[in-house]
Chains A and B, each alone.
Chain A
Amino acid sequence: MVPLSWYIGLSAIVFVIGMIGFIVRRNIIIMLMSIELMLNSVNISLVAFSHYLQDFRGQVFVIFIITVAAAEAAIGLAILVALFKNKSAVHTDEIMEMKG
């Protein structure tokens, strides 16, 4: 059987990749993808914990996270479409109407 620490390690690595991606990349679509990566790393660790603790709460939680992530992506892309109609840009450097 695969030990728990492997899953936790995988989840930590995926989370850090997502985090770095969010901070380094300037394309809004890629930033949304990075958030998705971070959420999925949480799902990996929750399912792993749930399996090793023999407790179903973790898996129930994962279902909720997947649902909310889908809603969040839908809203994010909808806002992005509205933004793109007003100003053809998906880079955060080009979207700088407000400063200070």
Chain B
Amino acid sequence: MNVNLPFPDLAPAMPEIVIISAATIMLLLELFFKNKGVLAFMGIGIAALAMYFVPMSIGDTFNGMFKSDLYSIYFKFIFLLNLMLTIMISLQYMKREKAEYGEYYSLLLFATAGMMLMASAKDLIVLYLGLELMALSTYILAGIKKHDIRSNEAAIKYLLLGGFSSAILLYGISLLYGLTGTTDIYSISVYFKFQGSSLPVVMAMMFITAAFCFKIAAAPFHMWAPDVYEGAPTSVTAFMSIGPKAAGFAVIGRIFYVAFQSLQADWVPVLIGISILTMAVGNILAITQTNIKRMLAYSSIAHAGYMLIGVIVGTSEGLSAMITYLLIYTFMNMGAFAVIILLDRGDEIKDYEGLAKSQPLVAGLMLVFMFSLTGIPPTAGFIGKFNLFMAAVQAGYAWLVIIAVMFSAVSAYYYLRIVMNMYMKDMTEEASITPSPTLALALAITIMMVFAIGIMPSLVIG
């Protein structure tokens, strides 16, 4: 028997290939290097190399299962940026926490590769495999401090709820497969153009929506986020609050805009409900938190609510505003977590009392990131929100924007409470910091981008 299998064109998948092979090699190199910092720098280098390959990777490959287009390129850029910044902030931190394992860096790389596969998936099988590659790596990352019970607890909670959500996703996918006879996202969209919605279609859609709402931590599927964010090592929390969320949005954008495009009337009302509920839950529950990582978990839930507006809007402006918001969120959120890591004791909100007197520079950085997360000009957070809400107003969702702005005003309370603690309260204890060059670099990049985007929005818009 002579089977003629054409060799697939590897160019569109080059960034993923670079990342996955480097991660595998790093697993081996881990044995030879006593100083794990080498692996960290290797990871940053690999991310930079992959970033170099990203812009020239447009095209379809692997029998049409993998599609690299402008949309996925933007997301891959965010994932790689997230990877680089995470490695920069974790170098010193993992040493301090006595959890310096070489696997840490290769798992970060594997998780990023999974996210990139999700953004590029044109077939539901690839999508599922990318999702699991990301999820399984992040479960381990959450539990990497294996002698810390809180880290273990975060990992097991994340694993149980993540496994549950992927089972729900798979049931939705199996229904879709039964209905359409294919797993290709574009063929599914063709099928739905001729076939209206029916009960099984709506069920499949609801299952898939629920599963991805788990991934982006949207209410009512957000319960895992606060516990996992609090228990996981801070650098992993920073990674998780951006990467899997962005990947979830990449898939939501792709599935809803391509596969379910002709069923818009069915899914828009559901997403509007989820978005409003997410903003409400995230912003209101964040108010009572005393742990800053937990507070930022609720804040990230609230931000997922804002970003969902970009999907609901249904125009290309909406989607691009969502991507811009994700990019800005990467900088400001990563910056806030970098400050938390910089402080020796910075997990509780009361640790920030009087920080401006003992560490004025650190307090100043935190102030900027908190202002940006609130959305106060001239920081990037304002531009992101403005851009997103503008797209929604233009598409006729002014009432949704009013609700979002109201919840955004609520968010000022808990973000500015940290600022108030830093500047207006008396110092209880002298705060100490452990600076490191890479952490300083990460802080410099994030603060610079927060201001640069805030002052010159044309950098990211358009």
A80 to B155, CA, bound (A): 9
Measured CA separation A15–B152 after assembly (Å): 28
Query: Quick one: which of A5-44 are within 8 Å of B by CB?
Result: 8, 11, 15, 18, 22, 28, 31-32, 35, 38-39, 41-42
Contact of A42 among B132, B149, B160, B167 (CB under 8 A): B167
Task: Find out whether the CB atom of A79 lies under 8 angstroms from the CB atom of B143.
Answer: yes
Residues on B with C-beta less than 8 A from A64 are 125, 128-129
A76 CB contact (under 8 Å) in B125, B156, B168, B294 = B156
Known A64-B128, A72-B136, A100-B289; contact A79-B152, beta-carbon cutoff 8 A: yes
Residues of A within 8 A of B139 (CB): 75-76, 79
How many B residues have CB within 8 A of the partner chain?
43
Residue of B143, B163, B170, B227 near A65 (CB, 8 A) is B170
Q: List the B side residues contacting A18 at CB < 8 Å.
A: 167
Query: Quick one: given A46-B177, A57-B125, A86-B149, are A35 and B167 in contact (CB under 8 Å)?
Result: yes
Measured as residues with beta carbon below 8 angstroms from the partner, the interface class of chain A is 35 or more
Cβ-defined partner of B163 (8 Å) among A57, A61, A76, A80 = A76
The secondary structure that dominates the A interface is helix
CA A53 – CA B140 in complex, angstroms?
Answer: 38
State the B residues within 8 Å of A (CB): 124-125, 128-129, 132, 136, 139-140, 143, 146-150, 152-156, 159-160, 163-164, 167-168, 170-171, 173-175, 177-178, 181-183, 226-227, 230-231, 288-289, 291, 294
Q: Can you report 29 A-B residue pairs in the complex whose CB atoms are below 8 A from each other?
A: A11-B174, A18-B167, A35-B164, A38-B164, A38-B168, A38-B171, A42-B174, A49-B174, A55-B182, A57-B182, A61-B124, A61-B173, A64-B129, A68-B132, A68-B136, A71-B132, A75-B136, A75-B139, A75-B159, A76-B139, A79-B155, A82-B143, A82-B152, A82-B155, A83-B156, A86-B152, A98-B154, A98-B294, A100-B294
